[in-house]
Structure formats: structure tokens, C-alpha cells
């Protein structure tokens, strides 16, 4: 069975589970008080700066690329293992990790970790729309990677990370670093694009 056909077959077989994941994210975040859509009252398809209050509130933004990379990394990890992992198992892992992240991200502990980094001060979490969209973008990244040769997937991941880092000043790798071990030089570089930088301590 070819990669593309296998992906379609797996998505069809796990579509109910994937849909349940989206519902679980939405219901959980809504019950925790996250707004269904941006509190600005409208829906945008794209937000072009990470420093906008609309960021993480609409359908897509620069962090969308990080979620696409997440899905692709699940595929790459599966291909790097010394034993064969079938596509359905990898898709199940993508669903579980995607749902888990969108929920865990909105716990007080993780939100406070984000707010401790200069770039994310004032971050209140995603809207329900954005969180569900992030999860669906992740599944899209998984599907694309599953139907692509490994070398192309690596190129996709590198391209998305570099594009987000150089254009928006943040990407999956930089976000992870900022939360785990903030680096002053990187934070200063990121703040160069901030029209309203935080005042120095």
C-alpha cells in the first residue's frame, strides 16, 4: 500500500477518533473559560504578527506553522525508530499528543511558564476556535508528511521553522527554548519587532 493511499485509509478509519479529539479540545477549553472566538467579535483567517492581540485567537497565525511541524515530527520519529510503526499507530499518536498539548497548554502551570518569558507576557491562552484549528493544522501536517519521502519532510520542517523564526521571530524550537531555558539575547532579538515592548525591569 503506497504512503498516500495508506494515509487516506488510516484517516478514514480514525476519522471518528480525530473528530472526538477536536470536540474534546473545544469542550474542555470552553468549560475552562476560554472564549469561543476572539473577544474582538470577528473571525480572521490569518494574523500576520505574533505581537498582535489577535494572535492565537483566529484560524491561523505564525504559530500554525509550529503545529504543522508537530504533525510532521510524529511521522519522522516513527520512521527513525529501529522497528516498523504502521501509519495507523502514528496517526493515533498524533491525535493523542495533539489533543493533550492543546489541553495541557491551558493549565495554569503551563500558562505561567509562558508568561515568565518576555515574549509571552500577558498571554491568556487560545480561543476555542484557534485551539481546534491548531489541532487540525497538526493533522494536516501529519497527512502531508505521511505521503511524502523522508528527505522532503525534513526539508518541510526546516523550511517552516526557518520561515517562522526569521519572519515572525518565533517557531517551535524557539518557543520550547523560551519556556524551558530563556536566553536574554534571543528575547532581545525577538522584541525588535514588538511595537509595544515590555518596559525593562
Q: Are 115 and 64 spatial neighbours (Cβ–Cβ below 8 Å)? A: no
Cα three-residue angle 114-75-100, rounded to 5 degrees: 40
CA dihedral for 101, 107, 109, 113, sign (positive or negative): positive
Cα 113 to the center of its chain, rounded Å: 17
Whole-angstrom distance, CA of residue 130 vs CA of residue 88: 26
Which ranges of the chain does DSSP label H, i.e. alpha helix? 3-13, 15-31, 64-80, 87-104, 108-115, 128-146, 150-168, 172-180, 184-191
Q: What average pLDDT is seen over the chain?
A: 91
**Are the C-beta atoms of residues 45 and 57 closer than 8 Å to each other?**
no
pTM metric for this prediction: 0.90
List the grid coordinates of 113. Answer: 511558564
Q: Which three cell numbers stand for residue 116?
A: 515568565
How many other C-beta atoms are found inside a 10 Å radius of the C-beta of residue 87? 22
Structural domain spans, the chain: 3-191
Nearest to 117 by CA among 29, 191, 46: 191
pLDDT in tens, 59-108: 999 999 999 999 999 999 999 999 989 888 999 999 999 999 999 999 99
Q: pLDDT, tens digit, for every residue of 103-159? A: 999 999 999 999 888 788 889 999 999 999 999 999 999 999 999 999 999 999 999
What is the predicted pLDDT for the residue at 5? 47
Q: What is the pLDDT of residue 1?
A: 42
The CA-to-CA distance between both ends of the chain, in Å, stands at: 59
pLDDT digits (tens, 9 = 90+) for 135-151: 999 999 999 999 999 99
Q: Tell me how crowded residue 68 is: count the other CB atoms within 10 A of its CB.
A: 25
Q: What is the pLDDT of residue 146?
A: 93
| Residue 178 CA, distance from chain mean position | 15
Amino acid at each position: 500500500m503506497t504512503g498516500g493511499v495508506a494515509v487516506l485509509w488510516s484517516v478514514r478509519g480514525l476519522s471518528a477518533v480525530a473528530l472526538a479529539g477536536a470536540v474534546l479540545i473545544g469542550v474542555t477549553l470552553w468549560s475552562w473559560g476560554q472564549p469561543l472566538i476572539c473577544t474582538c467579535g470577528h473571525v480572521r483567517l490569518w494574523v500576520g504578527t505574533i505581537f498582535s492581540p489577535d494572535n492565537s485567537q483566529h484560524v491561523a497565525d505564525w504559530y500554525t506553522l509550529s503545529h504543522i511541524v508537530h504533525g510532521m515530527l510524529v511521522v519522522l520519529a516513527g520512521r527513525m525508530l529501529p522497528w516498523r510503526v504502521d501509519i495507523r499507530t502514528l496517526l493515533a499518536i498524533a491525535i493523542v499528543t495533539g489533543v493533550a498539548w492543546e489541553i495541557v497548554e491551558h493549565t495554569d502551570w503551563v500558562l505561567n511558564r509562558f508568561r515568565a518569558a518576555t515574549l509571552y507576557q500577558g498571554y491568556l491562552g487560545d480561543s476555542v476556535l484557534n485551539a481546534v484549528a491548531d489541532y487540525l493544522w497538526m493533522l494536516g501536517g501529519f497527512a502531508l508528511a505521511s505521503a511524502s519521502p523522508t528527505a522532503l519532510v525534513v526539508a518541510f520542517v526546516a523550511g517552516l521553522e526557518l520561515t517562522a523564526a526569521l519572519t515572525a521571530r518565533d517557531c517551535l524550537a524557539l518557543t520550547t527554548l523560551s519556556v524551558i531555558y530563556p536566553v536574554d539575547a534571543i528575547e532581545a532579538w525577538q522584541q525588535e519587532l514588538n511595537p509595544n515592548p515590555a518596559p525593562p525591569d
